[in-house]
Amino acid sequence: MFSLEMDSDADGRDLLIAELWELGSAGIIELNDTRLRAFFDTGADRAALLTRYPGASAREEEDRDWVQESRDMLQPMEVGRRFFLVPEWRDDPAPPGRFRIAVNPGLAFGTGVHETTRLCLEALEELVQPGITVLDVGTGSGILSAAARLLGAGRVIACDVDPDAIRVARQGFIGSADAVRSASVDLVVANISPEAIVALAPEFTRVLRPAGVLIASGFNFSEVDTVRPSLSAVRDVRQKGEWAAMVAGIEIAFVKIEQEFSETFGYVRGDIANLLEKDRPLHYTVALLVCAACEMLTWHRNLRDDQACRVFTSILPDAEPYEALGRTLWEALRNGLAHNFRPDTIRTDNDQWRFAIFSNRSGPHMYVAKGQPHWIHLNIRTCAERIILQIDAYEQELRTNPHARLSFNEKSKRYIKTIRADAARIADALRSVLAETHS
């Protein structure tokens, strides 16, 4: 048996170790941050290995079970709050609350996962949202792609310019971010060299959707000032030992969606407030506007179309009977206004319930007059004032929450294409009524 001692820089260490295993190494020991020793059986082609690694030095070794000794050095370890990394030949179960990731020896696992890998894993824990698309640039062993999937990413795209890396990772394509469609991913993670990050920075910006996030690592803390100017909207610089990672993004400022907000929610809010202020007897018009606002808030809160009753119920009194009746009242009010400009009649086994809409500054929110039929008197002023408060709260959320701005921007682009027929009828009715009101 003999061994080769060779240099190993941080950027290429994972792939070098994976390559040595593929060449038949019987065991690998990391001597320090820059040197490692790989052991080979006597039958291995020493001359070919020295030709392949001209800076390596060879020495004879005593006959020991280097495979087992090398494996004994590779212990499971916890990384961040969520991950448990285990050599692929071990069956250690993950502790409660942690994801188990089986890793091959090419992970540079002997002295612990490299600091830059840890930084990226911890950032992924914070930033991966369910269903998002993640791009892993320079995937190497594929550990970051595996982590993103476990955290709930809907789609993970892995790429590397080294064919051996794709073979080791068993996923992805040979290439880089320049082969990915524009504005198609929500998060990019790139644990690569600082030179590669600077060179690829324009591609990261191109492939990210608005408010997308970039996790960049693979460089020393001393190189932060070299990398930072190439990235836009750097939010955070993180450090482990001598190594660093940056979290950057492409944020949408509120000013960029302010006009769209004004032409949608602002329009509805303004007309409701105007009609209430002037005490004009257009109660059914106000009811239409309230319905429209409920539909819009449903859409932007990521609720299903059939869950609009939740928004409507939230503007009713905070009492259990109203919550139980919310869906029935909503459907009678909304469907009737959309089709007939009058609320639908609610029919039960022996009773009929009809709506009467009124507006009163000091009256009750709602009351019922029994008879044949029964009449539900709905104070639309109270409903309207409450929906205005919800629109105000949503505007404040957009001003302070970048993820909310991203969602608003994306949904606004699709709203016209996906608006339901009933909602369209509400819009048509509003246009005709408001045209008459302002004429």
Q: Give the mean model confidence (pLDDT) for residues 75-99.
A: 84
Per-residue pLDDT, 87:
81
Tokens of 241: 């030992």
pLDDT winner (highest mean) among 30-44, 191-205, 268-282, 313-327: 191-205
Q: Give the mean model confidence (pLDDT) for residues 176-183.
A: 87
CA distance 266 to 408: 14
CA distance 292 to 304: 15
Report the amino acid identity of residue 32: N
Assign 410 a pLDDT band (cuts: 50, 70, 90). low
Radius of gyration for the alpha carbons in the chain, expressed in angstroms and rounded: 31
Per-residue pLDDT, 112:
43
Q: How far is CA 270 from the centre of its chain?
A: 33
The answer, yes or no, to whether residue 273 has pLDDT greater than 50, is yes
Assign 323 a pLDDT band (cuts: 50, 70, 90). low
Tokens of 40: 């080979």
Under DSSP, the state recorded for 324 is H
Per-residue pLDDT, 110:
33
Widest pairwise Cα distance in the chain = 103
φ/ψ region of 142 (left if φ > 0, alpha if ψ in -120 to 50, else beta) reads left
Tokens of 254: 């509120």
CA distances from 239 to 121, 244, 247 (A): 13, 4, 12
Per-residue pLDDT, 66:
54
Contact 130, 180 (CB under 8 A): no
Span 426-438, pLDDT tens digits: 666 656 655 554 4
Give me the DSSP letters along 117-132. HHHHHHHHHHH--TT-
Contact 363, 379 (CB under 8 A): yes
Per-residue pLDDT, 432:
64
The dihedrals phi and psi of 48, each to the nearest 5 degrees, come to: -65, -40
User: Nearest-CA neighbor of 422 among 279, 305, 255?
Assistant: 305
Contact 203, 176 (CB under 8 A): yes
Residue 412: Cβ within 10 Å count = 16
CA distances from 371 to 34, 134, 251, 367, 420 (A): 89, 61, 58, 13, 36
Alpha-helix residue ranges (DSSP H) falling in 241-282: 254-261, 267-277
The answer, yes or no, to whether residue 417 has pLDDT greater than 50, is no
Dihedral sign computed on CA atoms, order 8, 9, 10, 14: negative
- Three-class SS state of 376: strand
Tokens of 380: 């639309």
Per-residue pLDDT, 324:
67
Tokens of 430: 């509003």
Average pLDDT, the chain: 81
User: Nearest-CA neighbor of 214 among 232, 189, 191, 231?
Assistant: 189
Percent of the chain with pLDDT over 70: 81
Span 124-153, pLDDT tens digits: 998 998 999 999 998 877 889 999 999 999
The answer, yes or no, to whether residue 107 has pLDDT greater than 50, is no
The answer, yes or no, to whether residue 306 has pLDDT greater than 90, is no
pLDDT winner (highest mean) among 10-19, 78-87, 141-150, 294-303: 141-150
State which H helix or E strand residue 346 sits in: strand 346-347
The answer, yes or no, to whether residue 391 has pLDDT greater than 80, is yes
CA distance 27 to 14: 15
Outline where DSSP puts E strands in 91-233: 99-103, 133-137, 155-160, 173-174, 185-191, 208-220
Contact 332, 345 (CB under 8 A): yes
Report the amino acid identity of residue 165: A
Lowest mean pLDDT among 111-115, 158-162, 190-194, 236-240: 111-115
